Amino acid sequence: MKKIIYGMLLLFVAISTQAQDKISKNAKYIFEVNGNCEQCQKRIQKAAFSVDGVKMASWSLETHEMTIIINEEKCSLLEVKKAIANVGHDTKEVKAKDEVYEKLHACCQYERD
């Protein structure tokens, strides 16, 4: 009888430990991304979702804030910022290459630092 109780207790601890691990893998970040219009919004969000591990990505046209939820075991925040820069949009840490930025539509070109 004691073996069954200890076995059930061990099983319960193992299951709760795995559930906690899944919660801690996902992280939410908010950061600024330069852009001007709805075309920019679609491009920025598409670039973020192109990174494996991005669960949610939303860029606000009004505030220029990008909100993402990522699985940190599959990707990093820096990888997401690099993907966004690769389509022509700057963040504070990663700047888009000039030749990529210059290919953006005229309404999408923002004032760069």
Burial of 51 (0-12, 13-18, 19+ CB in 10 A): buried
What the chain holds in terms of domains, given with CATH numbers, is 25-108 (3.30.70.100)
- pLDDT tens-place string over residues 35-84: 999 999 999 999 999 999 999 999 999 999 999 999 999 999 999 999 99
CA angle 99/63/103 to nearest 5° reads 15
Residue with tokens 């997401």: 80
This prediction's pTM: 0.78
